[in-house]
Amino acid sequence: MIIVRPIKSSDYPALMKIAEDSGHGFTSLPQNEDLLKRKIARSEQSFSKSVSHPEDEGYLFVMEDLATGEVVGTSAIEAAVGLDDAFYHYHLSKVIHSSRELNVYKAVDILTLCNDYTGATELCTLYLQDHYRQGGNGKLLSKMRFMFMNAHAERFASKVLAEMRGVSDENGESPFWQWLEEHFFSMDFPTADYLTGIGQKVFIAELMPKYPIYVNLLSKDAQAVIGQVHDKTRPAIELLKSEGFTFNGYVDIFDAGPTVEADISNIKTIRDCQNRTVVIGDMAQGSEASFMLSNHKLVDFRALLSTMTLDANSETVTLSAELANALHVSEGDVITIAPL
C-alpha cells in the first residue's frame, strides 16, 4: 500500500537521493546535507506548531511504499512566501510604442522584476521516482496537498501558486539564463539555481537588471522558452490546469518557466472534498471508482488512494481494518474523501 505522510528526520537519506535524482532546475531541493536536514527540521516544527494564520511554515510530505518501507517521492507546501526573503518573478506584459504622425503602432512584450506573490501559498518540491509513476501515485502525491489545505484552512493563504520548472538541457543549461548570464551575471545556471535553493538570494537584487527587459532584445532561443515548461514538468502543469490553475504572465527569473495560480476556493479537489465518518467493516462491492482519502491530523497526517464504492446519500464511509490502520484512524473518526 502507498501512503503520503509528513517527512521525519530518518527520511534524510531518501530525501538526498530524491535531490540527486531530480537534477538541475529543481531549486527547492539542492544537494546540500545541511540545508536538507534543516528543511526536514523546519517541516517537523511546522506540523507540530499551533497556527491561526499562515506565516513562515513549510510542510514537506513523502510518499512511502508500506510494503517495502521505501520513500519514493516528495511534495511540499510553503504557507506564505516572501515574508522573510524576497520572492522574485518576472511579469510578462506589454508596452505600446506609437506615433500618429508617423502612422506607427507597435506592441512590445516586456519583463518586469516584481514581488507580486508575497504572502501567497506555494505548492512546491513535487517529485516521484520513475518506477512509481503509475496507478494514480503522481496525482495522489500532488492533489493530497489540497486535502491537507482544506482540513487546515487557517494555515494557508487565499491565493495558491506553483512555479513550473522551465526549459533546460541535460547539462542544466537554460537558454533564458544564458542571455542573462552574458549581459548581467558571471555564473552558470546550475550555480545560480543552487545559490537560490540554499537561500543566498542577495545576488538577485544586486545583479538583476533594475529596469524592464524588452523581450525582442533577447536571443531567439531565450524568447522561445518564456512561459514554457521542461518536458518532465508537463504532466504536473496539466494536472494543475485541470484543478483550475491559470497562467497570468508570471515567469521564473532564472529559466522563465511559468508560474500558475488559483484562488484556494476555486481549486477543484477542494470543492470536491467530502467529510465522512469512519465505520470499520467489509467494504461494499459494486461500481467502484478511485478516491483519495486523508485524515484530519497534523503530525500524524496520512493520505492514500483506494478503489471503493461510495453511497452518495450517506454521511459515513466503510473502511477495511487495513485501510483504517494505514490512515491512522479509528471508527467514529472523520476523514476527507475526494475523487482522483
Half-sphere exposure in the Cβ direction for 249 (13 Å, CA): 11
Residue 94 CA to chain centroid, in angstroms? 28
3-class SS letters over the chain: CEEEEECCHHHHHHHHHHHHHHCCCCCCCCCCHHHHHHHHHHHHHHHHCCCCCCCCCEEEEEEEECCCCEEEEEEEEECCCCCCCCCCEEEEEEEEEEECCCCEEEEEEEEEEECCCCCCEEEEEEEECHHHCCCCHHHHHHHHHHHHHHHCHHHCCCEEEEECCCCCCCCCCCHHHHHHHHHCCCCCHHHHHHHHHCCCCHHHHHHCCCCCEEHHHCCHHHHHCCCCCCHHHHHHHHHHHHCCCEEEEEECCCCCCEEEEEEHHHCHHHHHCEEEEEEECCCCCCCCEEEEEECCCCCCCCEEEEEECCCCCCCEEEECHHHHHHHCCCCCCEEEEEEC
The single-letter code of the amino acid at 235 is P
Phi, psi of 282 (to 5 degrees): -80, 125
Q: Which of 53, 152, 230, 296 is catalytic?
A: 230
> Any catalytic annotation for residue 230?
yes
Catalytic positions: 230
